Structure 1
Amino acid sequence: MATRHLALAASVLAICMVLTRATKPGFVARITVKGLDYARQEGIAALQKELAKLKLPDFSGSFKVKVLGKVRYTFYSLNLRSFQLPSSQIALIPNVGLKVSIANAFAQLTGKWKVKKRFLWLYNLFHKKIESSFRRTMEGKVCEAVTSFVTTKLQPYLQTLPVTAKIDKVAGIDYSLVAPPTATAQSLDVNLKGEFFSLAHRSAVPFAPPIMAFPVDHDRMVYFAASSYFFNTAGFVYHTAGVLLFEITDAMIPKEFKFHLNTSTFSAFIPQLEKMYPDKLMKLRIKTSSPPFLTIAPGNLSLTPVVDIQAYVILPNSSFVPIFLLSVTSSVSVKLMVTSAEIGGTLELGRLQLSLKHSDVGPFSVQLLQALMNFYGSSILIPRINALLREGFPLPLPARVQLSNLVIQPRQNFLLFGADVRYI
């Protein structure tokens, strides 16, 4: 049977883990009172169903009655028809943690019983003589069932909460805890490392997470704060791995476009190129020269990447001849999107700023290439990058949990998004 408790699962896991050091988080998860109440409802509903499956043993005993002497009784063929837990509570204890309480359990059962000596008034002795024994038996079985529920259902479910998440062949995300959870009267905050790392060779990131001023919002069940550090470690890892590299060839350009990637097109800006390599196809190789960094401010997310563009002429034997190397900077606006389980985004390219780093075909004015490079960047490069970004990165959620009613707000140095949760 699947368990149903997002917030409680995350909270219990956080509290039970032993922490060896505390650092500033790159990612924070906040579970509000509303979220904890949802977890309580789902968890209690699951526990009730589990308790309804209890198999009660036969039990017997005896007691002494004046005149009659010792009376023996037996209860057998017991069948638990329902088990109700009408009163339960999850309370936040500031600077301590969570207090979970369950009270006023109610059970309805049927069965058979027999007594060695019968009199009409013997049934009235039940409450005085037998009820306490029967209650102890029931309580023992319930405690066994709750322990089994935690061991076989809750603990395996907690293990679905990712500590690390593999993204692709290059990188993963570290969602391990960096500090004890912080409880207030309104929420439980769980501080996570929130760092991308290389799967091939993990090394220290040369910058630290910023301070995040988490606002006092409690309308949603959960809130997440993803700092600029979280995103910028991604840029650092992929740049260091040398995979932030894209190539543009003429085959990528739709036939109806007039700016094809060949020496005939570029000869309008570099006249000597057509003379040196008449009617030849070209290729552009685009690679970051430094890690791209995301800046997050209220109402704005932007990148200012620095890339090198190496242009080649393709010879008839399919070899490549380098012709020039440009350094390019641009302001890139970023739109982040959160789905039911992932965070992704899209980029919009601003105007490029070009400078010539090297030329193998003599001097030429890079300003004349401005419009052409903007065309290739916005029409060919950015759509391909956006296709990758839309695939998204997984959020630290337990299995079968989805987010809904999402709200996203850029804050200073971090992205805040809140959501309600549902178990599917």
Structure 2
Amino acid sequence: MQKDMGVWHLNQGPREARTVGTGRVNSCTSLPPSRLGSPTCLDSGRACHGAPYSPLHPPGCQRSAPSPPNPRGRRGERERGGGSERPGIIKAAGTAQPARPRRPDPLRSPPHHVTPPTTQLRRSPLAMALVGALFLALLAGAQAELPGCKIRITSKALELVKQEGLRFLEQELETITIPDLRGKEGYFYYNISEVKVTELQLTASELHFQPEQELMLQISNASLGLRFRRQLLYWFFYDGGYINASAEGVSIRTALELSRDPTGRIKVSNVSCQALVSRMHAAFGGTFKKVYEFLSTFITSGMRFLLNQQICPVLYHAGMVLLNSLLDTVPVRSNVDELVGIDYSLLKDPAASASNLDMDFRGAFFPLAEGNWSLPNRAVEPQLREEERMVYVAFSEFFFDSAMESYFRAGALKLSLVGDKVPHDLDMLLRATYFGSIVLLSPAVIDSPLKLELRVLAPPRCTIKPSGTTVSVTASVTIALVPSDQPEVQLSSMIMDTRLSAKVALRGKALRVQLDLRRFRIYSNQSALESLALIPLQTPLKTMLQIGVMPMLNERMWRGVQIPLPEGINFVREVVTNHAGFLTIGADLHFAKGLREVIEKNRPASTSDTSASSAPPPATTAA
């Protein structure tokens, strides 16, 4: 180890040398090790990086081009430890330490291999797809129509429906027709024909809601009573007669899927079925009893197979044809009277849960003269949360608003009382009040009949609160004389603001409303002074409304409007509950007519072709 010019040189080569004070790692590690006293790699590195020229520099080292001036000056270079003219110091002995990384300089440009960040964001296909799906979902939600009427059928109603449905199912299964069974066993020829179901005993059955299937019926351990004709031929011996048999261990599993058809009507869209007859028994007798007992295995096995194949087609036809004929009696778009109709179209498929079945109906009235008109639904959507009763019906404010606006557009919300139709006391009061006007305008018509006309100026609006239901009406009241063969003479015109309380009731399948006058106020739209002059008329006009007008309104309103239920089913024991923006009616169901009676009344004209066309797929029948 030698000491030259204050620099310690190591015989270990430049790979283990590290400069102190410069903060840089020598990059000339690829040069061969230097001899003692010869220029080191450190000197070469200093010469290559812009250090002052020295005779110690090797002739092969090319001096790099001068770097551009640093804005911070040489003082900044010294502060960073770079560009020092002092010779570097080499540590003496010891293990080489790892090189310190170069401290980044914010004033220098980044290396050429580093790509500067860009401000433009990359739009991946997945992100674009998610944004598009979110936009479509929001658009569909904004365009979704809110229901004006909702109906919920709870699991408590299924027990009543099951009793009536099983009675109908028994009658349908009794119509099963089994083809003749012929065969040969040895020298015996047999023929089984005219097979009929005589009775059906359903020991255990269950009807419940099932999501995505709507209604599920399960029958287990049932039995069928059969009667058929037997024929046996052995050489020249013949035997025939009728015999009774029974099918035991009958299991049936069928599911009804409900949906909305293109017209908005609820329909049975699919029937899935599985049926299995576990065993059959036939009691043979007579001269050839032993022969029949020998053949009974073949006969009963064949009959069991045929019976398995015939149960599901009967149930499929009962669901797709007969039950749909019952659902056709549910009103969808019908007339309420000669002026207004109602639309009970389903807005979407019925939604089934484990405990109930919910249906959303449009529930909108429309004037018959404007069949395509519809009122935008901006009311609160009715909510059904109760499950204590068999059925719940909910109506929003939109349901009643559309009814009143339809009658308003049809021109029905006006009333004209002329002559004797005006109450006598009110007639005298009005003539006395406007006597001066009559004398000034036309004294010759003072004895002409008096006319009182009420005309609603804007569609009434319904407000439903937990405290009750009210209807606000603004109308004009015109008082005039109508002489014969002369134009009428108008005496006064005023504005009437009324608030009616509405009591909603459900009787059978008719929704009825009874109105009662609660608040009444009249004023003039001309001047406040004339409004003061009308104060004496307020009480007589209110009495006239209560005695003469409200009974006519209630008579018309009490006719009611039908609720979307099939024919033969009514509501009983109704309870009305008001909420904020809607009301609910909880009730129980009652079959006023038998299911068979209603179906027979509405059965399609020809069911033979329909039955053939409605046969279930082979996969739906379990042998």
For the criterion TM > 0.5, the same-fold answer is: yes
CA distance in 2, matches of 1:62, 1:228: 74
Q: Structure 1's 139 and 228: CA in aligned 2 closer, same or farther, altered over 3 A?
A: same
Q: Does residue 512 of structure 2 align to residue 351 of structure 1?
A: no
Aligned to 1:182: 351
Displacement after TM superposition at 1:233 (Å): 0.5
Structure 1, unpaired ranges of 5+: 1-20, 64-68
Is contact 1:336-1:343 (8 Å) kept? yes
Question: Which of 207, 218, 231 is equivalent to 1:90?
Answer: 207
**How many residue pairs are counted as aligned between the two chains?**
391
Give 1:147-186 correspondences, 5 Å limit: 147-186=316-355
Is contact 1:28-1:224 (8 Å) kept? yes
CA distance in 2, matches of 1:211, 1:120: 72
Is contact 1:247-1:283 (8 Å) kept? yes
Question: Which of 59, 69, 73 is equivalent to 2:190?
Answer: 73
* 1:293-333: CA deviation from partner (whole Å, max 9, x where unpaired): 11111140111111111222121336422222111112211
Give 1:253-272 correspondences, 5 Å limit: 253=422, 259-261=425-427, 264-272=428-436
Query: Which has the larger Rg?
Result: 2
| Structure number having the greater strand percentage | 1
CA distance in 2, matches of 1:309, 1:292: 16
Question: Which of 145, 156, 166 is equivalent to 1:44?
Answer: 166
- Please, what is the CA RMSD of the aligned residues? 2.5
What TM-score does the superposition give when structure 1 sets the normalisation length? 0.84
Displacement after TM superposition at 1:125 (Å): 4.2
CA distance in 1, matches of 2:289, 2:347: 68
Aligned to 2:506: 338
Q: Structure 1's 365 and 126: CA in aligned 2 closer, same or farther, altered over 3 A?
A: farther
Is contact 1:248-1:381 (8 Å) kept? no
Question: Which of 187, 199, 224 is equivalent to 2:368?
Answer: 199
Question: Which of 581, 596, 621 is equivalent to 1:413?
Answer: 581
Considering Cα pairs closer than 8 Å and 6+ residues apart, tell me whether 1 or 2 has the greater RCO: 1
Aligned to 2:122: none
Give 1:13-412 correspondences, 5 Å limit: 22-63=144-185, 69=186, 71-94=188-211, 97-117=214-234, 121-125=290-294, 128-201=297-370, 202-219=372-389, 221-253=390-422, 259-261=425-427, 264-276=428-440, 277-317=445-485, 319-357=487-525, 365-412=533-580
CA distance in 1, matches of 2:511, 2:391: 15
3-state DSSP of counterpart to 1:336:
strand
CA distance in 2, matches of 1:293, 1:351: 15
CA distance in 1, matches of 2:303, 2:377: 64
| More divergent stretch after superposition (339-348 vs 147-156) | 147-156
Q: Percent of aligned positions with the same letter in both sequences?
A: 26
Is contact 2:415-2:453 (8 Å) kept? yes
Is contact 2:364-2:402 (8 Å) kept? yes
CA distance in 2, matches of 1:227, 1:147: 38
Q: Structure 1's 383 and 318: CA in aligned 2 closer, same or farther, altered over 3 A?
A: farther
* 1:343-402: CA deviation from partner (whole Å, max 9, x where unpaired): 11111112311111359xx88711121112111111111111111101111111111222
Is contact 1:351-1:374 (8 Å) kept? no
Q: Structure 1's 414 and 185: CA in aligned 2 closer, same or farther, altered over 3 A?
A: same
* 1:82-137: CA deviation from partner (whole Å, max 9, x where unpaired): 12344333222246633333443421122332334586544444563332210122
Structure 2, unpaired ranges of 5+: 1-142, 235-286, 594-623
Q: Structure 1's 102 and 351: CA in aligned 2 closer, same or farther, altered over 3 A?
A: same
CA distance in 1, matches of 2:322, 2:525: 61
CA distance in 1, matches of 2:388, 2:584: 13
Displacement after TM superposition at 1:37 (Å): 2.6
Displacement after TM superposition at 1:70 (Å): 5.6
